[in-house]
Amino acid sequence: MMINPKEIKQMTTPSDKALVPFVSVDNMMRLIHHVGIKDMLTELARYIEDDFKRWDLFDKTPRVASHSDVGVIELMPTSDGEAYGFKYVNGHPKNTAEGLQTVTAFGLLADVYTGYPVLLTEMTMLTAMRTAATSAMAAKYLAPKGSTTMAMIGNGAQSEFQSLAMQAIVGVDTIRLYDVDRAASEKCAANLAGTGLRTVICSSPEEAIEGAQILTTCTADKQYATILSDNMVGAGVHINAIGGDCPGKTELASGILERSDIFVEYPPQTRIEGEIQQLDADHPVIELWEVISGKVAGRRAADQITLFDSVGFAIEDFSALRYVRDRIKGTDFFFDLDLLADPDDPRDLFGMLMRAKG
C-alpha cells in the first residue's frame, strides 16, 4: 500500500503525551521576573518547607558523585511515590578563572505511574534560588528573633540570592560583605542597590561579622579552609554554612562545631560533604525536617549558637521542580520538547521508525 507524504507527517507528529514541557534559561529568568525575585524565593521556601514536613514519604540517598582533580559531577535523585525527580549538577571552582560558571545544572520531574517525564528544566538559575530559599527557611527557625544583619562572606554567584532571601523571609535589612576579591563585593553591592538592603563592604571577615546575628559563609575553593576561626564566633549567632559541600571542602574551624547545635538536611550525605566531616561519625546532629515538623526545638536560648550545615539535598530540588511545574501552567514560559517516542502501537517502535523514512 502506498502512503502519501501527508499521512507520513501525521503518523510521525508527536502526540501531546509525547511532548515534555522544557524551561530554558531565558524562560526561567522570565518566570522569576514575572513572579518577582523575592516573591519566588518566598514561594520556593514554602514548597520546600511543605516537603520537609512529609519527609518520611521520600526516597533518600546521598547524591551520586563523580569526583575529578578539577571538580565534581553529581546526580541528585528522589521520589515521593507519585513523582520522581533528579538534578544533574557540577561543581568546578577552577571554572571562574576560565570565564565559566562554577555550578551548572538541569533537572527532570517524572510521573511515577507511567515513568514519563513531565518537566525538563534548566536548574543553574533555579538552584541558586532554591539554595537561598532553603537557607532563609532554616534561618526562620534557627536565627535569633528579630535578626536584622547578616555577614555575607564570599560574594560570588550565590551572594545576592542569599541576601534577598534573608530579607524576604527573615527580615534582614543590612548585609555586611567580605570577599578576598574586593571586586566581588563591589559587584554584589551594586546588584543589591535599590532592593531596600543596606550593604557595607568590609576589609576582613572579622569586620564583616561585627554586629551580625547571621553569619553566612559561601566560598568556592575546594580545600579545608578556615573562613571563620573559633575565636571569631561569639554566643547567640546563627551560622549558615553553605560553602562546604563536598569531601575535602570546609569553611569553619572545628572548635566552632564543638560549641554549636548543628542542624543538617540528611546526615549520611552531610557527614561526607559538610562541615561535620571534620568531626567523629557519631557527633550528634539534628535533622532540619524534625525542627520544621515540630518534633524538635530549633533555637532554644539567646546564647545558643545554631549552625545550619547545608550541603543541598535532593528533596529541595524536587520541591523546586514541583514549584516550576505548577507555576508554568497557563503561561508561555516553556515550550514543548519532542522527547519521547510515541508509536501508535507501543509494541511497534520499529514500524514508527520505518514510517518516518523520507
250-252/224-228 β-pairing: parallel
The arrangement of secondary structure in 141-313, i.e. its CATH architecture, is: 3-Layer(aba) Sandwich (3.40)
What residue spans in the chain does CATH classification 3.30.1780.10 cover? 17-125+315-351
pLDDT tens digits, 16-56: 778 999 999 999 999 999 999 999 999 999 999 999 999 99
Angle made by CA atoms 270, 274, 280, in degrees to the nearest 5: 80
Q: What is the pLDDT of residue 4?
A: 43
Instruction: Round to whole Å and give the CA distance between 339 and 17.
Output: 10
Could you tell me how many helices (H) and strands (E) the chain has, helices first? 12, 17
pLDDT tens digits, 230-247: 999 999 999 999 986 677
Backbone angles phi, psi at 225, to 5 degrees: -110, 160
What residue spans in the chain does CATH classification 3.40.50.720 cover? 141-313
**Residue 69, SS3?**
coil
H or E element that contains 30: helix 25-35
Q: Which amino acid is at 135?
A: S
Q: Which amino acid is at 326?
A: D
The average confidence (pLDDT) of the chain is: 92
Split at pLDDT 50, 70, 90, the class of 220 is: low
DSSP state of 232: G
Question: pTM here?
Answer: 0.92
6 pLDDT more than 70 = no
Higher pLDDT, 8 or 216: 216
Q: What is the pLDDT of residue 219?
A: 84
Given the residues 51, 80, 179, 245, the one annotated as active site: 245
Q: Which amino acid is at 63?
A: R
* Nearest by Cα to 307 from 332, 272, 274: 274
Question: Percentage of the chain with pLDDT > 70?
Answer: 93
Between the two ends of the chain, the Cα-to-Cα distance in Å is 16
Q: What is the pLDDT of residue 103?
A: 87
Q: What is the pLDDT of residue 112?
A: 97
Q: What is the pLDDT of residue 14?
A: 54
249 pLDDT more than 60 = yes
Q: What is the pLDDT of residue 159?
A: 97
**Residue 337, SS3?**
strand
Split at pLDDT 50, 70, 90, the class of 223 is: low
11 pLDDT more than 60 = no
Q: Which three cell numbers stand for residue 350?
A: 520499529
Q: What is the pLDDT of residue 218?
A: 92
Higher pLDDT, 133 or 15: 133
> Which CATH superfamily is 17-125+315-351 part of?
ornithine cyclodeaminase, domain 1 (3.30.1780.10)
pLDDT tens digits, 129-178: 999 999 999 999 999 999 999 999 999 999 999 999 999 999 999 999 99
10 pLDDT more than 50 = no
> Is 317 tagged catalytic?
no
* Nearest by Cα to 237 from 153, 143, 171, 310: 143
Find the radius of gyration of the CA atoms of the chain. 22
Q: Is 67 exposed, middle or buried (0-12, 13-18, 19+ CB in 10 A)?
A: middle
| pLDDT, average across residues 67-91 | 95
pLDDT tens digits, 297-348: 999 999 999 999 999 999 999 999 999 999 999 999 999 999 999 998 999 9
Q: Taking the CA atoms of 148, 151, 156 and 162 in sequence, report the sign of the dihedral they define.
A: negative
Instruction: Round to whole Å and give the CA distance between 196 and 194.
Output: 6
Instruction: Round to whole Å and give the CA distance between 15 and 341.
Output: 9
